[in-house]
Structure 1
Amino acid sequence: MLAAEFDVVIVGGGLAGLSLACALRDTRLRIALVEHRAPSRPSGWDARVYAVSPANAAFLEEIGVWKHLATERLAPIHAMEIFGDRGAELDFSAYEAGLPELGWILESSLMACELWENVKRQANVTVLCPATPQALVVSADAVVLTLADGKAASTRLLIGADGRESWVRQAFGLPAINTPYGEMGLVANLACQRPHRGVARQWFRDDGVLAWLPLAGNRISIVWSTPDAHARELLALSAEDLCARVAAAGKHQLGTFELITPAAAFPLSLMRVPRIVAHRLALIGDAAHGIHPLSGHGINLGYQDARALATLLAATPAWQDLGNERLLRRYQRERREETLLMQTTTHTLHQLFRQDFPGLKPLRNLGMNLTNVLPVLKNSLVRYAIGAF
């Protein structure tokens, strides 16, 4: 069977892969998207939510997605409150930073379905779904990807956007260094007794990091990053007992809770990928990096991967080889600093609050309190966090 020819083949129809395809909509490039299952919306609220920075909301606007998202499902973040494990506090305000909002909380499936619909309408994209990659052959001029159904696609550039366990990354033999945290991230959505007023809250506790993220309406989404044994204990609780435990952990700031989506948990680890490009290959999103969820930056890194790679490909002249590794290294260099900074910051914070050396707790809480009274430092932290630099 002859292989269909494309300029770019994207393996993985998650948020990063779909946003890359959308970002290439006005180019001359012939694109194929390979995905095993189309995204779908749950009947109620999606327990998997993301914090989207203003910089990435702007990116989604540029690629024609943001304006189509249901506004009644978007929750702006007007302020953040962070609490240490010995009474320290740190708060950020959009108003104080001169911004309309610090970001938005929205459901993963909401973004995925809108991105998917946009991609299906693109004249330069061929959607191969359901499809599963089975084998690939790399030559000097192309990559030939064979699918499980026997079809084949030939491309000058293959994009691995297929998640942490990336088949593409492994097929190319690129190593990934995983550092398990021995923790799980427990997620659930809750209805609140009191209004959250667009405030995101986070507690550094002896049993992990608990985040309350504002959802549209009188609801929040929680992410409790906690040791495996404690996560399993929480998962075993009844809905009423889990709500009571979450309320107590946050000192009942929003009153009582009612569970609106079942709790779920996933293992946490740091993942470093020393090389995210090779001859005829580039990795984006979770295939290229993994960080602790305490910063909420996971999808923001993925969207910025897509933005950077799309900008590079769109500016590449027709005569130049898209799969040339020297060209692709520009993308790797551009993304290295932000990715390394976020990985180092989240890992250091995690380690700082998980260690219990004598005298460490007072020092780290003193640091939070000092930061809270230094406006210049606080403003710098806010503007970096939202991608304003």
Structure 2
Amino acid sequence: MQQFDLIIVGGGLAGASLALALRDTRLRIALVENQPPRRPEGWDARIYAISPANVAFLDSIGAWRHLDPERMAPIRAMQICGDGGGKLEFSAFETGVAELGCILESALMACEFWESAKRQSNLTLFCPARPEQLEFRHDAAVLRLNDGATLSARLLVGADGRDSWVRAAAGLSAVNTPYGEKGLVANFSTEKTHRNTAFQWFRDDGVLAYLPLPGNRISIVWSTPDQHADELCALPPELLCERVADAGERVLGKLELLTSPAAFSLRLMRVPQTVAPRLALVGDAAHGIHPLSGHGINLGFQDARELACLLAVTRPWEDIGEVRLLQKYQRARREETVLMQTMTDNLRRLFRESQPGLRPLRNFGLNLTNGLPFVKNALARYALGAL
């Protein structure tokens, strides 16, 4: 049996960033992952909008400076359009910051995290490997892998995604609310320059976002009912480009497809208990959120930051798997997570409701907020600093 202080199951963005955040500690860490990340040819269709707070976190763990700036695009403005003339606009300049966020590919971050992890002296990688059996003892979590290896640690962290094996093996419940929608993602080249502006439209058929990529390129996320998403995925490239351009009011002119469309099911997932004796959950294993806010991975990075800060200051004689210690992490992350889940869920419901009189009311709300600079900038600064 191999002994560690910490075992992290899942080497995705949240799990790997947690490991990197603990690189200068005394902790002996094991990271278990089924397969290493790979860079796709061309541009990765799975992209993320990283908040300035998380840019600072990634810089603090030594990852941000190694990412290729030619593959990243800053967001300097954002336009949100309602379904009846409402509009809300944000500007980095008006908010008093250099940028509202940064768009980059998931694979770009994942590959850089992985290369850094391979060089980390207090980290042992188990890859390819899958967990097969988990046992919690009074003084340790014991994990058996599919190759027969057995690992033991005072704390085990589940960072293995929304269908977390760790969460299920530990008996922690997850309350799933399917949206009956899929998130369709694809990348396009554009006729007109996006000027580092992100666009979002609340439409009768869902929520469409244009996110800027370097050059005249964008990535889209179209959250739309299952049948419509399947229809869009089945369209020939030329027709898909026309549909996406029309849905985006042709603000960027003609579009050309760069990556094949892909769609994934959307659901709200609440996990009432994210810690237990010798166990903590981070990232998508701990929460699920509608993509309209763009904050899913930002929540995951903040999970990793909070847990790493807590573990880094423990004294040698303290037990990092003690539940009273882990409950500090759960309390610290609960408010932000519940707030974002509730806000995005209610916003989605507001624009999906078709009750008479609701459409002009919700669009009036967007226009009213847009006309109140103090309120608008307060919202922007909250998102920039808290997430």
- Give the TM-score normalised by the residue count of structure 1: 0.99
Give the SS at the match of 1:96.
helix
2:258 aligned to which of 260, 268, 272 = 260
* Counterpart position of 2:283: 285
Measured against aligned partners, the alpha-carbon deviations of 1:307-333 in whole angstroms (never above 9, x if no partner) come to: 000000001111010100010000000
Deviation beyond 6 Å, 4+ runs, structure 1: none
1:315 aligned to which of 293, 310, 313 = 313
d(CA) in 2 for partners of 1:136, 1:257? 49
The structural deviation recorded for 1:388 is 5.1
* Counterpart position of 2:323: 325
* Counterpart position of 2:52: 54
d(CA) in 1 for partners of 2:127, 2:249? 47
Count residues with an aligned counterpart. 387
d(CA) in 1 for partners of 2:299, 2:21? 15
d(CA) in 2 for partners of 1:385, 1:227? 27
1:238 aligned to which of 236, 239, 248 = 236
The structural deviation recorded for 1:137 is 1.1
d(CA) in 2 for partners of 1:364, 1:317? 52
* Counterpart position of 1:98: 96
In structure 2, runs of 5+ residues without a counterpart are: none
* Counterpart position of 1:13: 11
* Counterpart position of 2:218: 220
* Counterpart position of 2:42: 44
Aligned-residue CA RMSD (Å): 0.7
Question: 5 Å matches for 1:120-269?
Answer: 120-269=118-267
One-letter amino acid of the counterpart of residue 117, structure 1: E
d(CA) in 1 for partners of 2:330, 2:312? 16
d(CA) in 1 for partners of 2:160, 2:192? 40
d(CA) in 1 for partners of 2:233, 2:66? 35
One-letter amino acid of the counterpart of residue 169, structure 2: A
* Counterpart position of 1:345: 343
Identity within the alignment, %: 67
d(CA) in 2 for partners of 1:211, 1:332? 31
d(CA) in 2 for partners of 1:207, 1:328? 42
d(CA) in 1 for partners of 2:103, 2:259? 16
d(CA) in 2 for partners of 1:52, 1:261? 21
d(CA) in 1 for partners of 2:214, 2:326? 40
In structure 1, runs of 5+ residues without a counterpart are: none
d(CA) in 1 for partners of 2:248, 2:161? 32
Measured against aligned partners, the alpha-carbon deviations of 1:14-34 in whole angstroms (never above 9, x if no partner) come to: 000000000000000000000
d(CA) in 2 for partners of 1:362, 1:71? 42
Measured against aligned partners, the alpha-carbon deviations of 1:282-341 in whole angstroms (never above 9, x if no partner) come to: 000000000000000000000000000000000111101010001000000000010000
- Give the TM-score normalised by the residue count of structure 2: 0.99
d(CA) in 1 for partners of 2:134, 2:170? 9
The structural deviation recorded for 1:136 is 1.1
* Counterpart position of 1:114: 112
* Counterpart position of 1:4: 2
d(CA) in 2 for partners of 1:103, 1:342? 17
d(CA) in 1 for partners of 2:215, 2:276? 46
d(CA) in 1 for partners of 2:299, 2:376? 22
2:263 matched to 1:299? Answer: no
The structural deviation recorded for 1:378 is 0.2
The structural deviation recorded for 1:11 is 0.1
One-letter amino acid of the counterpart of residue 363, structure 1: L
d(CA) in 2 for partners of 1:207, 1:248? 13
* Counterpart position of 1:69: 67
d(CA) in 1 for partners of 2:147, 2:361? 59
* Counterpart position of 2:370: 372
One-letter amino acid of the counterpart of residue 305, structure 2: R
Measured against aligned partners, the alpha-carbon deviations of 1:32-65 in whole angstroms (never above 9, x if no partner) come to: 0000000010111000000000000000000000
d(CA) in 1 for partners of 2:50, 2:230? 29
Give the SS at the match of 1:386.
helix
One-letter amino acid of the counterpart of residue 369, structure 1: N
Give the SS at the match of 2:93.
coil
One-letter amino acid of the counterpart of residue 74, structure 1: M
The structural deviation recorded for 1:358 is 1.1
2:76 matched to 1:78? Answer: yes
2:13 matched to 1:25? Answer: no
d(CA) in 1 for partners of 2:84, 2:11? 43
